[in-house]
Structure 1
Amino acid sequence: MEELHMKSKCLLWGVIIVSISCLAACKKEKPLSPIPDSLASLQELLNPAYQISSDSIHLIIHSYLNENKQATPWDSALVAHYQESDDFFWLNDSLVSDKPAVQVADSMLYWLENISQHGINPRLYPTDSIRKDLQQIRTLQLREGKTMNRLLADVEYQLTAAYLSYVCQLKFGFLPSEDRWNDSICRIPLKNYDKDFATAALDSLRMNANTAFHQIQPSSRLYLKMQEELARVNTWGETDTTDYYRDRLLVNMERARWQYALDKGKKYVVANVAAFMLQAINEETDSILEMRICVGSVKNKTPLLSSRIYYMELNPFWNVPQSIIRKEIIPTYRRDTTYFTRNRMKVYDNKTGLQVDPHSIKWAKYAGKGVPYTVKQDNKTGNSLGRIIFRFPNPHSVYLHDTPSRWAFTRKNRAVSHGCVRLQKALDFSFFLLNKQDSLLEDRIRIAMDIKPVSEEGKKLPISAAYRELKHYSLEKYIPLFIDYQTVYLSADNKLSYCEDIYKYDPSILKAMNDQNLKP
């Protein structure tokens, strides 16, 4: 009898494999008998709990769909798939195969359980529960009143739900949009997952699951470097130093998962406020122009934004903002009446537009309110905007520009401006923006900035009677610009560096990750 029981169990196991294999191809059908007709004499040895029915599995999954609140776009894609299709993603012969290479469910569990390499808590996913269900299916040891249909439905539904959340959040970020930015800073428009993306992710899963798992992994140089660094930091043991670097990495890996809504294209500019560094990147030529920048002080923070550089102006005049007139110029002038003369500034009446003598104005009464005058600094030598400015649409009136204050680039903390971004290599940056190399145009820019031309044609320009100094230039093609904030960054020579959180933006992201139980 014992030998017969063992044979029956083997037969049952074989039929379970056949039945699961059929699920991938079968649509709506009658319940599958776990034993072929030729083995009907062994029917009494089989428990009905082992019978597999596609209809029963679908009914169980549909009960889960009714409980789904569809709080996220991937929930909507999940519900839509199982309401509209009879297909299963995981219920095929690979589910019970003894060959690890084809165990797709186990591959998914591997990625979920190793999400900590992305700085995310593996407990976000019900991997323990799924593994227990798989163990019962594979050992034919049903527990807790489970049936094979219930176990298969649980595995199918939970793996698909976990896959969708994993893919969407790893691709676009784990934090909800409202937790990504400190309330005091501007928000860079970001892409986000939607139902179409989640549906496409399901299509990728259907075509080749293992390829889908690999393709979704972030692959930027910065992200991969941070992953390597996180693995290294995690070997240090628990110390305050370890926590400092780990937390900095977790925050910036999350930032690196966010995707700009504005497409970067192959040629773009990233100004990293926290690092006081700008990188002008040309992927077509595999080149990076890197330079130091000065940014807004803590009181005058440089706003984070995305825009398009479309225009450069040579030797700009500076129309001094009202806030600077009130907070800086008036108090300084009251201590030093030579201020306007020394800084080559002129004052104009807002009503008449006429120039007025600054000494005739009682500045003290305007210190705390609107000033009915415009202050304009002469261009060229000594102008605060330097010899060239790069303009882009934004509501904050901030720009990238040259500066006569070269000393500031030698400082470690370069948060010294009123909000605009000062460039260490403004001339080189202007050349980067050009659509193609143009030696004559480059020399016209040099001449306007009082720099000697280098080409033979360019050397002839200043002595030509027909020559007119270049005052502005509109780019043939705009260049995407991103003014961002990253306290871990990758230099042009591929070295990972940490920098101080000058605006104290990291703690809010770290708190949000803790509140969402994201930290491993």
Structure 2
Amino acid sequence: MEELYMRNRRLLWGAVILFVVCLAACKKEKPQSLIPDSLAFLQELFNPAYQIDADSIRLMIRSYLNENPVTPWDSALLAHYREKDEFFWLNDSLVSDKPATQVADSMLFWLGDISRHGINPNLYPVDGIRERLQQIRSLKLQEGKTMNRLLADVEYQLTAAYLSYVCQLKFGFLPSGRRWNDSINRIPLKHCDVTFANAALDSLRANPIAAFHRAQPSSPLYRKMQEELERVNAWGKTDTTDYYRNRLLVNMERARWQYALEKGKKYVVANVAAFMLQAINEEMDSILEMRICVGSVKNKTPLLSSRIYYMELNPYWNVPQSIIRKEIIPTYRRDTTYFTRNRMKVYDNKTGLQVDPHSIRWAKYAGKGVPYTVKQDNKTGNSLGRIIFRFPNPHSVYLHDTPSRWAFTLKKRAVSHGCVRLQKALDFAFFLLKEPDELLEDRIRIAMDIKPVSEEGKKLSNSATYSELKHYSLEKYIPLFIDYQTVYLSADNNLRYCEDIYKYDSSLLEAMNDLNLKP
């Protein structure tokens, strides 16, 4: 009896293996049963639950997807199983007795190894898939199950898990609503879409092992944080461990997000949390790094992405109404020399004419709109310094020079009204140029009262007919990202931690913890 069972089991395995080989070769015009005629007697020899039909499997998968399609990869999967005959996982490796060669087992390894990314492996149905694979390989169906249902479950769950895995590693695990709290300006980000999902399926079809490797985030910052997380986890459970682990957990998720605006090879990242700016030129493999001053906790610098188009030399400062009401009026009432000392002029908004600030009863405008414009003279002492870099944004913030050099000596440099002050404004101007240009660089220096260095530049500064440079439009815009990262990679390739000055980490950490608590 046992010998007959083993013989029947081998025959069935032969049918299964032939079935999964045939799956790859079958065409739409031949949708008939995939059990070969030579093995048709198996239909009588074995329970009908073991009969295999590719069309039935596809119908089952489509029914799963039709029940509750919620993600971009659901629609990609539905289109695939509706329009194509091929399966991704139902091949001879599925029933192989050599686990090291099995693509399905390789996928399960990557899913189980997701903890390297700070994610709980329970996010994926790894145990359930393994159990179904074991049922297929042992030919032991649970009561009420069929081989078609079991194969459909495995095919669907592996493919859905694969697409979820690659999409989330590429674009982030948290849904949009949990990435930012209501007080944070949202930087436009890319999201997983049908085009990406279809490309991921193409990669899976072409070379599954390469597809798994390609899905891993590869930026130097991300790799460093992964290594750091492994070390931190080895420390054991302490308050110090929690601090560093939480910082890494939050910033690894941030590092998975992708800006909607393409960075290109030359771009700028101002990290508000670190009080640091990096101007990066990947073609030259260079990073210009400098300290910055950002908005105070009361006047937070908005997070945004934009394009720097031009620079303006020796700008005038049109003082915002909020600063006039909240700062200038109270200060003037204590010190009537304020406007003179700060080289500020006052203009009537209706007539446009300059008026004497001493003739205005400022007290009555302290809590409401001020019908006057306050403008600070340019050059020496101007709050914007000698050069400003403008870019479109709805918050009226810019990158600019500053006469207040003392602020760059502070550890915590959240001192501005929201704009970003640059420690090395001249170097930043040179970075923005398409290519080195000695004469143009000297014209910028001259405008900023810095001595020129080239011979041609020296001639310009001595010319009585020389017209000072007032602004310069870039030949090509430079992408700018004002972001918030409490762990970042410094120009010397070291991982740096910084304080959560605006308290943005807490809501993101809560969302990550909620994600990792899912059963």
Pairing 1:262–2:261 present: yes
On the 8 A contact 2:452/2:458 being kept in 1, the answer is yes
2-structure distance, mates of 1:231, 1:461: 58
Per-residue CA deviation, residues 190-236 of structure 1 (Å, 9 max, x unaligned), is 11111122122112211111111111211111111111111111111
SS at match of 2:221: helix
Alignment match, 1:485: 484
Instruction: Judge which range, 461-470 or 1-10, deviates more.
Output: 1-10
SS at match of 2:111: helix
Residue 232 and residue 34 in structure 1: after superposition, are their counterparts in 2 closer, same or farther (change >3 A)?
farther
Alpha-carbon distance, 1:36 to partner: 3.5
Q: What does 1:455-466 align with in structure 2 at a 5 Å threshold? A: 455-466=454-465
SS at match of 1:311: strand
Alpha-carbon distance, 1:259 to partner: 0.8
On the 8 A contact 2:95/2:137 being kept in 1, the answer is yes
Per-residue CA deviation, residues 230-289 of structure 1 (Å, 9 max, x unaligned), is 111111111222111111111111111111111111100000000000000001101000
1-structure distance, mates of 2:43, 2:398: 80
Alpha-carbon distance, 1:366 to partner: 0.8
On the 8 A contact 1:12/1:34 being kept in 2, the answer is no
Alignment match, 1:373: 372
Alignment match, 1:446: 445
2-structure distance, mates of 1:495, 1:344: 44
Q: What does 1:106-125 align with in structure 2 at a 5 Å threshold? A: 106-125=105-124
2-structure distance, mates of 1:449, 1:432: 16
2-structure distance, mates of 1:144, 1:288: 63
On the 8 A contact 2:313/2:386 being kept in 1, the answer is yes
Alpha-carbon distance, 1:309 to partner: 0.5
2-structure distance, mates of 1:425, 1:518: 45
2-structure distance, mates of 1:110, 1:5: 33
Alignment match, 2:315: 316
1-structure distance, mates of 2:257, 2:43: 57
Pairing 1:347–2:349 present: no
The residue type equivalent to 1:260 in the other structure is Y
2-structure distance, mates of 1:518, 1:266: 39
2-structure distance, mates of 1:403, 1:44: 88
2-structure distance, mates of 1:233, 1:321: 46
Pairing 1:71–2:70 present: yes
Q: What does 1:300-315 align with in structure 2 at a 5 Å threshold? A: 300-315=299-314
Pairing 1:98–2:97 present: yes
1-structure distance, mates of 2:453, 2:34: 83
1:31 alignment partner, one of 3, 25, 33: 33
Alpha-carbon distance, 1:519 to partner: 8.1
The residue type equivalent to 2:385 in the other structure is G
Alignment match, 1:280: 279
Residue 308 and residue 126 in structure 1: after superposition, are their counterparts in 2 closer, same or farther (change >3 A)?
same
Alignment match, 1:16: 16
2-structure distance, mates of 1:511, 1:462: 59
The residue type equivalent to 1:36 in the other structure is S
The residue type equivalent to 2:427 in the other structure is D
Pairing 1:201–2:200 present: yes
The residue type equivalent to 2:387 in the other structure is I
> Unpaired segments of 5 or more residues in structure 1?
none
SS at match of 1:370: coil
On the 8 A contact 1:188/1:306 being kept in 2, the answer is yes
The residue type equivalent to 2:264 in the other structure is G
Per-residue CA deviation, residues 434-486 of structure 1 (Å, 9 max, x unaligned), is 01100011011111111111111111111112211111111111100000001
Alignment match, 1:295: 294
Alpha-carbon distance, 1:45 to partner: 5.1
Alignment match, 1:358: 357
SS at match of 1:36: helix
Alignment match, 1:394: 393
2-structure distance, mates of 1:169, 1:467: 57
Alignment match, 1:7: 7
Q: What does 1:144-183 align with in structure 2 at a 5 Å threshold? A: 144-183=143-182
Instruction: Using structure 2 for the length normalisation, give the TM-score.
Output: 0.96
Per-residue CA deviation, residues 280-327 of structure 1 (Å, 9 max, x unaligned), is 000110100000000000000000111110110111111111100100
2-structure distance, mates of 1:100, 1:446: 67
Alpha-carbon distance, 1:513 to partner: 2.2
Instruction: Using structure 1 for the length normalisation, give the TM-score.
Output: 0.96
SS at match of 1:260: coil
SS at match of 2:216: coil
On the 8 A contact 1:15/1:35 being kept in 2, the answer is no
SS at match of 1:407: helix
Pairing 1:236–2:238 present: no
On the 8 A contact 2:22/2:34 being kept in 1, the answer is no
Pairing 1:424–2:426 present: no
1-structure distance, mates of 2:61, 2:418: 55
2-structure distance, mates of 1:332, 1:228: 52
SS at match of 2:363: helix
2-structure distance, mates of 1:197, 1:143: 37
SS at match of 1:60: helix
2-structure distance, mates of 1:62, 1:386: 63
- Give RMSD over aligned pairs: 1.8
2-structure distance, mates of 1:150, 1:191: 36
On the 8 A contact 2:123/2:518 being kept in 1, the answer is no
The residue type equivalent to 1:22 in the other structure is C
Instruction: Judge which range, 203-212 or 259-268, deviates more.
Output: 203-212
2-structure distance, mates of 1:66, 1:393: 43
Alpha-carbon distance, 1:78 to partner: 1.4
> Unpaired segments of 5 or more residues in structure 2?
none
2-structure distance, mates of 1:94, 1:8: 21
Alpha-carbon distance, 1:111 to partner: 1.2
Instruction: Judge which range, 136-145 or 500-509, deviates more.
Output: 136-145
The residue type equivalent to 2:33 in the other structure is P
Alignment match, 2:47: 47
On the 8 A contact 1:120/1:519 being kept in 2, the answer is no
Alpha-carbon distance, 1:518 to partner: 6.3
2-structure distance, mates of 1:510, 1:519: 15
SS at match of 2:105: helix
2-structure distance, mates of 1:245, 1:394: 34
Alignment match, 2:126: 127
In the alignment of these two chains, the number of paired residues is 517
SS at match of 1:141: coil
Residue 143 and residue 467 in structure 1: after superposition, are their counterparts in 2 closer, same or farther (change >3 A)?
same
SS at match of 1:475: strand
The residue type equivalent to 2:52 in the other structure is I
Pairing 1:191–2:190 present: yes
Instruction: Judge which range, 17-26 or 502-511, deviates more.
Output: 17-26
1-structure distance, mates of 2:44, 2:364: 101
